[in-house]
Amino acid sequence: MNKENFVTHKKGRKIAVQIPVKIYEKLLADSEELDEIKEYRRAKAQKGDAISFKQAFREIEDAIK
């Protein structure tokens, strides 16, 4: 079982939580994966012509310059 430590204000209301770094890193990775899934679904739902990975990569590289 994981132990959380709560940070409370003067009246005892919980305002933050401390968790082990390993759990934080797992939560962060899971959150990033969910963001990628959402972006994929959003892109899939868009109407239009698909472009090749090569062209998409080229457009991204050009936008960075």
- pLDDT for res 14: 94
Dump pLDDT digits (tens) for 9-56. 999 999 999 999 999 999 999 999 999 999 999 988 888 888 899 999
Q: Which residue has the tokens 């899971």?
A: 30
Q: Has residue 1 got a pLDDT over 70? A: no
> For the chain, which residues make up each domain, given as ranges?
5-64
- pLDDT for res 37: 95
C-alpha 38 chain-centroid distance? 10
- pLDDT for res 2: 64
Q: Which residue has the tokens 């959402």?
A: 38
User: What's the predicted TM-score (pTM) here?
Assistant: 0.58
